[in-house]
């Protein structure tokens, strides 16, 4: 491979997130504008193993910036986790003459990219990889924000606002489960935005009596007759939580699991703009022949970080947001949140 980058691949992997298409568009158009050919790898790392690809140009990514999902499709690949699977992927890279790959996804996507790059290096060759963080969970340690989070939050808020209308009409308690198996960013952000009676997140041990029962009790004593409990999927089973509420308080909650609806929909302006900036930056990094990097947002700026160092970074949930939630909820003077 020469010093000047000639051809790159772009893929989306893992769970889809609104704004992935905007990132793909930015990568393709930035590359084409610099005289770099761009190949779309369909179905993530699986597509790299099976040579599932399509040549992309500026017109082929027209009118996708406003669409949810990913035009390149996505998948999780067990085969790619094995050396033999990556060897097949390397064969595709050689066949296509790829100098670099932009991988759009989460932590698992980036670890796959790093493993691929290392395996190529063992043969004395070079394949530059750059990651773009896109996940609705907002749980990538090196980046203060990930593509898709804002859209997922807005989707959940819209759904919960509609649920509140019927819960208020029937004077009921609603338990809503949102995504977040290991991280409570989505649940806490949404909980504050909808004025939830209680929010349960994985990062904070659940004291059911104080966090749920007492919050509902205070709301009832203040005159409220409907209650909204938001649960991150990693903090507990929504149906079991509803059963506990029924047993302890003699009220009959209704459960709503929002599920994959949070992944869909047209991305917000914030996600489109961020995805465009990150996609552009990823191509700039590759053009400089800087490999094994992750593009991230830090303190309002788009930066690129060493992939190994970035994957070792962690970030903790800003628990001051939980303080805000409690301050606005645990007050007998507040009736209608």
pLDDT at 6: 96
Q: Structure pTM?
A: 0.93
Residues 6+ apart with CB under 8 A from 209: none
On whether residue 32 sits in a domain, the answer given is: yes
Domain that holds residue 171: 150-263+318-329
What DSSP state is assigned to residue 207?
-
Q: Which residues pair with 147 in a beta bridge?
A: 134
Do 293 and 276 belong together in one domain?
yes
CA distance linking residue 261 with residue 43, whole number of Å: 20
Residues 6+ apart with CB under 8 A from 108: 13, 14, 76
On whether residue 311 sits in a domain, the answer given is: no
Query: Does the structure show a pLDDT above 90 at 223?
Result: no
pLDDT at 331: 58
Q: Cβ–Cβ contacts within 10 Å for residue 282, how many?
A: 31
Do 133 and 273 belong together in one domain?
yes
CA distance linking residue 152 with residue 160, whole number of Å: 12
pLDDT at 12: 97
Average pLDDT score over residue span 312-328: 83
Do 11 and 100 belong together in one domain?
yes
CA distance linking residue 316 with residue 324, whole number of Å: 17
Query: Does the structure show a pLDDT above 60 at 333?
Result: no
Query: Does the structure show a pLDDT above 60 at 114?
Result: yes
Mean pLDDT is lowest, of 87-91, 218-222, 279-283, 321-325, for 321-325
Domain total of the chain: 2
Active site residues: 137
Do 245 and 162 belong together in one domain?
yes
Place of tokens 């067990």: 78
Average pLDDT score over residue span 263-280: 97
Contact status, residue 55 vs residue 184, Cβ threshold 8 Å: no
Rounded percentage of the chain residues whose pLDDT exceeds 70: 97
Residues 6+ apart with CB under 8 A from 332: 218, 221, 222
pLDDT at 221: 87
On whether residue 1 sits in a domain, the answer given is: no
Query: Does the structure show a pLDDT above 80 at 24?
Result: yes
On whether residue 156 sits in a domain, the answer given is: yes
Do 125 and 234 belong together in one domain?
no
Do 117 and 220 belong together in one domain?
no
Do 144 and 157 belong together in one domain?
no
Do 69 and 172 belong together in one domain?
no
CA 334, distance to chain mean position in Å, is 33
- 293-298: strand order across its sheet: 53-56, 37-41, 7-12, 100-105, 128-133, 293-298, 301-306
Query: Does the structure show a pLDDT above 90 at 76?
Result: no
Contact status, residue 262 vs residue 182, Cβ threshold 8 Å: no
Do 237 and 154 belong together in one domain?
yes
CA distance linking residue 258 with residue 274, whole number of Å: 25
H/E segment holding residue 100:
strand 100-105
Closest CA to 146 of 130, 157, 135, 158: 135
Rounded percentage of the chain residues whose pLDDT exceeds 90: 80
Query: Does the structure show a pLDDT above 90 at 1?
Result: no
Contact status, residue 98 vs residue 259, Cβ threshold 8 Å: no
Do 140 and 163 belong together in one domain?
no
On whether residue 309 sits in a domain, the answer given is: no
Identify the band that residue 335 occupies on the pLDDT scale cut at 50, 70 and 90: very low
pLDDT at 19: 98
CA distance linking residue 91 with residue 83, whole number of Å: 12
The residue with greater pLDDT, 221 or 146, is: 146
Average pLDDT score over residue span 40-55: 97
Closest CA to 263 of 76, 111, 134: 134
List alpha helices for 58-124, DSSP H: 83-96, 107-122
Do 253 and 276 belong together in one domain?
no
Identify the band that residue 324 occupies on the pLDDT scale cut at 50, 70 and 90: confident
Contact status, residue 142 vs residue 310, Cβ threshold 8 Å: yes
Do 30 and 141 belong together in one domain?
yes
Q: Which residues pair with 132 in a beta bridge?
A: 104
On whether residue 47 sits in a domain, the answer given is: yes
On whether residue 312 sits in a domain, the answer given is: no
Average pLDDT score over residue span 291-314: 95
Residue 306, both tokens: 């060493």
CA 252, distance to chain mean position in Å, is 33
CATH code for position 223: 3.40.50.460
Rounded to 10 deg, the angle between the 149-170 and 185-194 helix axes is 50
CATH code for position 100: 3.40.50.450
Give the chain's count of helices (H) and strands (E).
12, 11
What DSSP state is assigned to residue 204?
S
On whether residue 212 sits in a domain, the answer given is: yes
Contact status, residue 262 vs residue 210, Cβ threshold 8 Å: no
Q: List, for residues 147-180, the tens digit of each pLDDT value.
A: 999 999 999 999 999 998 888 877 789 999 999 9
Place of tokens 């750059």: 130
- 254-257: strand order across its sheet: 198-200, 227-232, 173-178, 254-257
Residue 30, both tokens: 């930035």
């Amino acid at each position: 491979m020469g010093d000047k980058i000639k051809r790159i691949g772009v893929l989306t992997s893992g769970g889809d997130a609104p704004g992935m298409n905007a990132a793909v568009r930015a990568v393709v158009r930035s590359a084409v504008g610099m005289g770099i050919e761009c190949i779309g790898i369909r179905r993530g790392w699986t597509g790299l193993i099976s040579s599932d690809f399509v040549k992309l140009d500026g017109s082929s990514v027209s009118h996708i910036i406003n669409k949810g999902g990913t035009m390149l499709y996505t998948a999780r690949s067990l085969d790619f986790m094995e050396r033999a699977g990556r060897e097949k992927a390397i064969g595709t890279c050689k066949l296509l003459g790829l100098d670099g790959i932009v991988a759009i996804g989460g932590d698992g996507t980036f670890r796959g990219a790093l493993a691929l790059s290392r395996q190529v290096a063992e043969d004395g060759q070079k394949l530059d990889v750059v990651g773009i963080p896109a996940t609705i969970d907002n749980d990538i340690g090196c980046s203060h924000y990930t593509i898709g989070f804002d859209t997922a939050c807005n989707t959940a808020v819209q759904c919960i606002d509609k649920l509140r209308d019927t819960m208020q009409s029937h004077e009921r308690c609603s338990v809503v489960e949102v995504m977040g198996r290991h991280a409570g960013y989505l649940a806490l952000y949404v909980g504050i935005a909808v004025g939830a009676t209680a929010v349960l997140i994985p990062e904070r041990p659940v004291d059911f009596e104080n966090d749920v029962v007492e919050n509902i009790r205070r709301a009832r004593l203040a005159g409220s007759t409907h209650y909204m409990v938001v649960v991150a999927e990693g903090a507990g089973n929504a149906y079991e939580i509803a059963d506990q509420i029924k047993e302890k308080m003699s009220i009959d909650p209704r459960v709503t699991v929002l599920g994959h609806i949070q992944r869909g929909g047209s991305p917000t302006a914030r996600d489109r703009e961020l995805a465009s900036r990150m996609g552009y930056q990823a191509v700039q990094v590759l053009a400089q022949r800087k490999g094994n990097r992750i593009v991230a947002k830090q303190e309002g700026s788009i930066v690129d970080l060493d992939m190994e160092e970035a994957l070792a970074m962690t970030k903790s949930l800003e628990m001051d947001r939980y303080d805000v939630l409690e301050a606005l909820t645990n007050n007998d003077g507040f009736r209608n949140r």
